[in-house]
Structure 1
Amino acid sequence: MADNKETSTAPPAKRGRGRPRKDSEFASLSKELLGQKALEIAGSEGYGALTMHRLASEFGVTPRALYNYVADREEVINLAMQQFLAISPNVEFDCAHWKDSVRDAYSATRSAYRAFPRASQLSMDEKIHVMPGPRRTELMERVLKFYVEIGLTLKQAVGMVRALERDVLGFVLHVDYFYDRRVPGAPDFFSHPVPKEWLDFYPEVPAPYAQQALGLPEQTSDELFDEVIELRILAVERLLQINGEN
């Protein structure tokens, strides 16, 4: 009898519906992990693809298991946004070399957006209330302070901050998104104002400059992005000139 007691095992403890077992590999789930995975899904496929069922399937658990960590889908989206802002650049601005700082801010922001190109489309995909945490306020304040300290008015600084977001997000969605997924040998639809295929398809449309532009060398997405940055630097230079004249 004593030997039987030593070798016998107790029956497994019962657990609540949908809860991951304590001894399972899913016991390591956390809000941080859910936020990371949610960002991966939304950043690549859009927020419409971010459902509780999809998120649960990524971890191999039931949707009910997720509610041990989050209250609802809205909290999941908030977590995704917080994760996205956490990787946003914290550029060290140098007013003495402001052009380099502008370039750094644009390049770092592009890298973050490019990693999760559809993460910033929340306002287009969702109508829920999102509280992304203090990170965005901190980032915006640093950029505004930089532009004001190099000589822009606050209104002009606000305009440049808006331009930074529009320029980078628009470029990532319109150019990088397709460049990064471009099949080798596919037509280049971005280096020239009008692709050759379109000009050939509508020969009745007079477009001498667009035709001549086809002779210009093709550009990589990095070269196209450099153009965006340099145009913004020229805009800042002009604003500083105007401010100095007044």
Structure 2
Amino acid sequence: MSENKETSTFEPVKRGRGRPRKDSEFVSLSKELIAQKALEIAGAEGYDALTMHRLAAEFKATPRALYNYVTDRQEVINLAVERFLSINPLIEFDCTDWERGVREAYNATRNAYRAYPRASQMTIDEKLVVKPGPMRNRLIERILQFYVDIGLELKQAVALVRALERDVLGFVMHVDYYYDRRSANAPDYISSPVPVQQLEAYPEVSTPLARQALELPQQDSDELFEEVIELRLLAIERMREINGVAGQEQE
């Protein structure tokens, strides 16, 4: 996996007419700091929570201090999205070991989404025109090329890119978000198909298989995510079989 080093080119914007003097606020800020804090707020609470007043409060400053560095809230949103996308590494795929490449793509995406679980929901929280920068273009093109190179049709590759985002985002929001925030003695509502509390609440419903499933070993979130990857690997292998490329590496 290639290392994705961030370089900061952020500079304070020039003060325009009516803009407060920079020395009017005794706070050390930069676009980089604002972008990171904005991502932390949006990642934990969603973009609706990312207001200029809330952001300023995180720095113990007033909103006018922020305007020495950003023009408006829209720019703050764009900075947060761009920073979120920049933490996704550009994976160096090896087509001779495509299963490893799929695993790396899934795990890297999970790590990014898990750190800022709501940051990818910019189109859900509110209707904004977001300019996320070129990083997403590079990420999508690279993984599309990988899927095509291992023998999939472009339509199949597109479907798998969509599946990657749905699989990981759904898992992070439904499973990781719960596991990462629950207390040590909290009941497990995730690893079983139907929690025992739900089964006991409706004893009149016959659920022999669901009750038998409760006796299986409990799984943590990493083990549950491995199931997601394994299911996707099986789907990819089947697509390659249909396309007549599966097994050619050993020939």
TM-score by length of 1: 0.89
Alignment of 1:95 onto 2:95: yes
Query: In the aligned structure 2, how far is the partner of 1:196 from the partner of 1:84?
Result: 38
The CA deviation string for residues 126-160 of structure 1, in whole angstroms up to 9 with x for no partner, is: 10100101000000000000000000000000000
Query: In the aligned structure 2, how far is the partner of 1:181 from the partner of 1:89?
Result: 26
Q: Contact between 2:85 and 2:135, CA under 8 Å: does it hold in 1?
A: yes
- The letter for the 1-side match of 2:97 is H
Query: In the aligned structure 2, how far is the partner of 1:122 from the partner of 1:202?
Result: 39
Aligned residues: CA RMSD: 1.5
Q: Contact between 1:86 and 1:135, CA under 8 Å: does it hold in 2?
A: yes
Q: Contact between 1:35 and 1:76, CA under 8 Å: does it hold in 2?
A: yes
- The alpha-carbon deviation at position 29 of structure 1 amounts to 1.3
Aligned residue for 2:84?
84
Aligned residue for 2:120?
120
The CA deviation string for residues 16-72 of structure 1, in whole angstroms up to 9 with x for no partner, is: 875452793x2x412111111000000011112111001011112211121121111
- The alpha-carbon deviation at position 89 of structure 1 amounts to 2.1
- The letter for the 2-side match of 1:56 is A
Query: In the aligned structure 2, how far is the partner of 1:22 from the partner of 1:143?
Result: 48
Aligned residue for 2:23?
21
Query: In the aligned structure 1, how far is the partner of 2:47 from the partner of 2:84?
Result: 13
The CA deviation string for residues 106-126 of structure 1, in whole angstroms up to 9 with x for no partner, is: 011100100000101111101
The CA deviation string for residues 64-115 of structure 1, in whole angstroms up to 9 with x for no partner, is: 1211211111110000000000101211111000001101110111001000
Superposition map of 1:1-246 within 5 A: 18-21=20-23, 24=26, 26=27, 28-244=28-244
- The alpha-carbon deviation at position 191 of structure 1 amounts to 1.0
Q: Contact between 1:38 and 1:55, CA under 8 Å: does it hold in 2?
A: yes
- The letter for the 1-side match of 2:168 is V
Q: Contact between 1:18 and 1:62, CA under 8 Å: does it hold in 2?
A: no
- The alpha-carbon deviation at position 225 of structure 1 amounts to 0.1
Query: In the aligned structure 1, how far is the partner of 2:72 from the partner of 2:19?
Result: 17
More helix by share: 1
Count of residues paired in the alignment: 228
SS state at 2:90 partner: coil
Structure 1: which 5+ runs fail to align?
Answer: 1-15
Alpha carbons of 1:73 and 1:23: their partners in 2 closer, same or farther (altered >3 Å)?
closer
TM-score by length of 2: 0.88
Q: Contact between 2:192 and 2:213, CA under 8 Å: does it hold in 1?
A: yes
Alpha carbons of 1:17 and 1:98: their partners in 2 closer, same or farther (altered >3 Å)?
closer
Alpha carbons of 1:90 and 1:17: their partners in 2 closer, same or farther (altered >3 Å)?
closer
Q: Contact between 2:53 and 2:62, CA under 8 Å: does it hold in 1?
A: yes
Moved over 3 A (4+): 16-20
Query: In the aligned structure 2, how far is the partner of 1:145 from the partner of 1:65?
Result: 44
The more displaced of 55-64 and 212-221 is 55-64
Q: Contact between 2:36 and 2:83, CA under 8 Å: does it hold in 1?
A: yes
Structure 2: which 5+ runs fail to align?
Answer: 1-17, 246-251
SS state at 1:29 partner: coil
Q: Contact between 2:91 and 2:105, CA under 8 Å: does it hold in 1?
A: yes
- The letter for the 1-side match of 2:70 is V
Aligned residue for 1:12?
none
Alpha carbons of 1:129 and 1:17: their partners in 2 closer, same or farther (altered >3 Å)?
closer
Q: Contact between 1:39 and 1:84, CA under 8 Å: does it hold in 2?
A: yes
Identity %: 67
